[in-house]
Chains A and B, each alone.
Chain A
Amino acid sequence: MSMNARPILIIGGGVAGMTAAVEAAEVGHRVILVEKEAYLGGRVMRTHRYFPKMCPPACGFEINVRRIRQNPRIVVHTLATVEEVKGHVGNFEVRIRIRPRYVTGRPTLDNDLLERLTSERDNDFNLGMDRTKALYYPHEMAYPPLHVLDRDALSDTDAALLTEAAPEGAVDLEMTEEILTVKAGAVVVATGWKPYDAANLDHLGFGRCRNVITNVMMERLAAGNGPTAGAILRPSDGKPARNVAFVQCAGSRDENHLPYCSSVCCMGSLKQVRYLREKTDDARASVFYIDIRTVGRLEKFYQDMLADEQVEFIKGKVALIEEDTGSNDLILDVEDTLSRQTLHPRFDLVVLATGMVPNTVDTKFPDELVYDEYGFIDESTEIPGIYAAGCARHPCDVARTTKEAMAAALRSIQCQYGGD
């Protein structure tokens, strides 16, 4: 095997990219991992628990960070985007833009200084459900373990305060972006997904009714490091949610929105039903679905849940959600397709199972690749040396993503093998 091959460029530092990076590096290859956010972990770090084991994503993340840290073959760039990939298999030239962090990490910043700042920003880690200071630590497991400064959110007063009060060398307000050109032998595209914009789902009340939230917001509400410290509270009045509707295929399997099935939302909602049932005594959950798609061994999770009398499953697509003005409760309009009855049940919280949209939907990058009409990368039309993994290919869960990441790692090594 040729260990002298050029490094593998991995675009995206979520679970797919991290996995591809550590797995290729442990074989013996050099890897450059590029992540656009200030920290690794992507969407999974915003997830409270994985199905079906209900285990915390932080557990696997911790192990992977350890593997990255100890492996000298891996170089990590955060706040970085790949702008151009030129060349061909074995010899790509890659341009990476690294945005300034404004924090050097040395000496480390202490919390007292942060407390004194007044300028704030929406906390994107918590999907904007709370705020942080303009200078912030993304989350307690952030890797790299560094603060970040949101320069746009920093007031002049705070800038002056930082200049004066921060330990010397710790903050550099003059830091500029950097352009890096590197050579790579192969490229893994692990750019992941984003939730479908629920604002498009006007009939389901998102943005119009305060107590209609999305499944990704529910993950943050359930998480101990989320905006409510793990309590599932109604946005309108902060009261614990006791009677919750889960509306499946909110956008997915719908030709006006996402024609495809997002494949994880059924298990995602069932998992969130478990959050609710474990956190709030006597809470009730109703799941409105077209088909329950708990594929493979995941079926057991669904079968087990059927025994819970506090959970009901109703086959039917929700047509409309309206808010009850005094209580801010939600009234659904839904036809139960089994009984053929139109129902108008009332809930105190509604969770929309919004689907997955590939991040490549807006920017088809690298543009040599073939994309389907939804923006997913069509892996069957392979460009030698460029491989996709995870939700850049199709909506899929973490177990599938990590497996594909390893497959992409192998292909990246294989394409550079000099023999036949």
Chain B
Amino acid sequence: MADKIGVFICTGYGIAEALDVEALVKVVTEERGVPFCRTVESCEGSDLAEIIRDIEAEELDKVVIAGISGRCDEVTVFPANVIVEKVALREHVVWCQPPGEEDTQMLAEDYLRMYIAKIEKMKPVEPFQPEDEIDRTILVVGGGVTGLTSALAAARTGYEVRLVEQADRLGGRLADQYKSVPTRPPYRELEDTGIETLIAEVEGHPRIKVYKSAETGGITGAPGLFDVTLRASGRDRSAPEIVDEFRVGAVVQATGWRPSDPREHLSYGQVPDVILNVDLERMVKEQGRITRPSDGRSVKSIAFIQCGGSRDPDHHSYCSSICCLTSLKQAMYLRESDDQAKAFIFYEFIRTPAQYEDFYRRAQEDPGVFLTRGDVTDVARDDTGDLMVSVNDTMLGEQIRVKVDLVVLAAGMQPNSADGEAIRAFEEAKVTAEDGESEIQRQDAADKVEKLRHHEGTEILNLAYRQGPDLPVLEFGFPDSHFICFPYESRRTGIYPAGAVRQPMDGVASRDDALGAALKAIQCVEMTARGEAVHPRAGDTSHPDFFLQRCTQCKRCTEECPFGVLNEDEKGTPLLEVTRCRRCGVCMGACPERIVSFQDYSVEIVAAMIKAVDVPDEFEEKPRILALMCENDAMPALDLAGRRRLHLNPHVRVVPVRCLGSVNVEWINQAVSMGFDGVLLIGCKYGDDNQCHFIKGSELAHSRGDNIREKLEKMALESQRVELHQFQISDYETLPGIFDDFVEVIEEIGMNPFKGM
């Protein structure tokens, strides 16, 4: 039996004053043949209760409520299994159009047509439930302070945890530290690191299983269903020794950092008494005092050279964030061991944010600590074996030289990460270099192999993902989230980097990061168990369906998915891992065969919305523009434009899309062939500072746009009929201009000649 549809049209909100409601009802009942339509004063409060009573009494399956935007309506629970769609007559029509005009009425009628057509095609959403039960175990990779903290937090919240550490002991870099910088008031005294207690708590916890001297040899599957193989750590990967195999639900990657190579002119590696901050730390921890490596003599003076490997355009141009604090702390070690000793700290900027400033102040008060701004130009050993440090002292404007027993370079932090996408590119290039079709292709691939060679064998997680074995990385190799508001928005669902692998950070920040990542891991398994998508479409229970009989193995979807959801079989057919999916629909936009659909969002559904628009013939001189707008920024901006009562061009018909990357070319073809005069695509900003929460959806739409324009030209249509915009929510005031300018362009080039054909 066909679904029973009902439409409710609000008369309040100025709707009855601006529009001919009777005519709207006629469109619904007579033109679209909807069996149930009634007008209500509003869609809130007692009116909403009445709507719900009608839905139940009339046994409606699908309901369109034309009133206010679904962004700011009254939140309510509709009867189970009823599909509800909102038409924002207030925001998108009444607030941004003059009342009583023909164009205003046409716009409202079209929106009703579009949403009725949409709901006709929508299917009820059944949350995805895999055959196997969702596993809630958390895998933590890395046994340093971040990994330990994460493991303990998850275990103490009731989750089973598997912790893998490559080394033969837990504790990571913190275990090599003698003391920590102050973390509590009055922020002046060094503190115990607390690492021994943390290790003991982890090792003693009944829900944590610890694997030392082990690493992840492989991770297949998806959130809730990851199958992990552990192997003995070591470089002999040709004959790996399998340690264990098990299933987990989510992963925290806490693989930490290693010191970066120091700047060359500072004589590290040539002069034995030039050491790194990490070397000094280990020395103090192990022997309790500071001696010179060259002759074992007690050290009376140290020069600390800041940014020894950081903030160097040729090296690591970022700041490693903890080195200032570390040097101040190590100066304390020296001063506490010998009150005659001298510590010189050469820096450009001292970076002791927040309450760490108090610790810096303590160092400034210490008569044996000499803080000097300057560039160290040279470190040399003199005849007596002492070190002479030459500094361009920019404060005094002269060159100074300081004689010290030991030089400590504040080496920076670099992440223990692997660039999953680069590794994949390397492996693919290796294949092409052998089997490429032409000599040129083989040569190009061979060049690429050389360029990417340093990624060979760097795998950490060994994910069985078509897009590479590890998390994609940002600049400088950090597998960080690109989003300020959402620090764990990683590009592999269910895998969350934490701690110094994510960005340079201190111990306090690492512990917080560990907890945050543990929360996301736990949240991921819980949401997956409920069949819900995780952020940013949190709670969405729709999921993609691939009609594989029609798949041509073009691999566009497997290539373009921003989250690596799709693997491939040997022929190139996509293998869907639903619980990896973030529901953006980029695969749907990519597919030339249109075989990808969601229950409530598909090529067919949007096509029906476009088709429902009543396009006037060419003699009416009313152009029609289709605007496909991203739900994250552009659609809310449309509401905001309405709220500010900005006048919007009445010839534009807006269809929301999940992401501009989900736009299928078919929609544009269809719009143009049915007489739309132009198509606007409005999505998020892309590039280095991209704001697309599906990472590259907007960018993909732009690259596909070139393709679309070519097609238009083949149809003897002007390529200007399709326009793409990068847009952010706060730019809502520019929306009227974007619409008007485009309509002007269309008016200049003339109406679509396919109109009425």
Contacts and interface: CB of A to CB of B under 8 A. Distances in A.
B485 A58 contact: no
A395 B729 contact: no
A294 B512 contact: no
A50 B484 contact: yes
A410 to B, nearest CB: 4
Interface in B473-519: 475-476, 478, 480, 482-488, 503-505, 509, 511-516, 518-519
A327 interface: no
Given A69-B75, A140-B643, A253-B357, A407 B539 contact: no
Nearest to B476: A297
A297 B318 contact: yes
A195 interface: no
B485 A296 contact: no
A226 to B, nearest CB: 11
A22 interface: yes
Contact of A60 (B483, B519, B522, B526): B483
B512 A404 contact: yes
Interface in A1-35: 1-2, 15, 19, 22-23, 26-28
B157 A417 contact: yes
A291 B351 CA distance: 7
A62 interface: yes
Interface stretch (A158-166, A231-239, A375-383): A375-383
Interface in B1-56: 12-14, 42, 44-45
A137 to B, nearest CB: 8
Contacts of B633: 59, 62
A407 B518 CA distance: 8
B632 A63 contact: yes
Nearest to A55: B691
Interface in B364-410: 394-395, 397
Nearest to A27: B523
Contacts of B484: 50, 53, 55, 60, 398-399, 402
Contacts of B158: 1-2, 417, 419
A23 B353 CA distance: 27
A61 B633 CA distance: 11
Contact of B487 (A1, A48, A145, A403): A403
Interface residues of A, number: 89
Interface of A is mostly: loop
A420 interface: yes
A106 interface: yes
A67 B354 CA distance: 32
Contacts, number: 229
Interface stretch (A207-215, A256-264, A317-325): A256-264
B185 A378 contact: yes
B118 interface: no
Contacts of A378: 184-185
A295 B353 contact: yes
Contacts of A132: none
A295 B321 contact: yes
Given A53-B484, A71-B539, A224-B730, A63 B516 contact: no
B156 A414 contact: yes
B169 interface: no
A378 B475 CA distance: 34
B705 to A, nearest CB: 22
B186 interface: yes
B350 interface: yes
A380 B184 contact: yes
Interface string A45-60: 0001010111111111
A239 B523 CA distance: 51
Given A22-B538, A261-B356, A293 B351 contact: yes
B77 A295 contact: no
Interface string B658-674: 00000000000000000
A413 B523 CA distance: 11
Chain A CB within 10 Å, residue with most, of B186, B397, B523, B526: B523
Interface stretch (A94-102, A119-127, A275-283, A335-343): A335-343
Contact of A338 (B394, B519, B530, B693): B394
Nearest to A297: B318
B: contact size bracket: 35 or more
Interface stretch (A78-86, A107-115, A179-187, A360-368): A107-115
Interface string B309-350: 001010001111100000000000000000000000000011
B186 to A, nearest CB: 7
A72 interface: yes
B208 to A, nearest CB: 12
A402 B355 contact: no
A59 B153 contact: no
A300 B72 contact: no
Contact of B185 (A52, A71, A372): A372
A156 interface: no
Nearest to B310: A299
B737 interface: no
Contact of A402 (B397, B485, B523): B485
Contact of A261 (B77, B357, B509, B513): B357
B475 A55 contact: no
Given A263-B353, A295-B351, A296-B319, A413 B75 contact: no
A26 B538 contact: yes
Contacts of A228: none
A407 B478 CA distance: 21
B354 A261 contact: yes
Contact of B397 (A299, A300, A340): A340
A403 B728 contact: no
A396 interface: yes
Contacts of B640: 140-141
A131 interface: no
A305 to B, nearest CB: 13
A295 B693 CA distance: 25
Nearest to A61: B485
Given A59-B632, A63-B536, A71-B539, A406 B488 contact: yes
Contacts of B318: 296-297, 299-300
Contacts of A399: 484, 487
A373 interface: yes
Given A50-B484, A60-B483, A403 B538 contact: no
Interface of B: 12-14, 42, 44-45, 71-72, 75, 77, 153, 156-159, 183-187, 206, 311, 313, 317-321, 349-358, 361, 394-395, 397, 475-476, 478, 480, 482-488, 503-505, 509, 511-516, 518-520, 522-523, 526-527, 530, 534-536, 538-539, 632-633, 636, 640, 643-645, 685, 689, 691, 693, 728-733
6 contacts: A59-B730, A140-B643, A140-B732, A338-B397, A403-B509, A407-B516
Given A407-B514, A414-B156, 15 more contacts: A15-B485, A60-B483, A61-B485, A263-B353, A294-B319, A296-B320, A303-B311, A340-B397, A374-B355, A396-B354, A400-B509, A407-B515, A411-B153, A417-B157, A419-B158
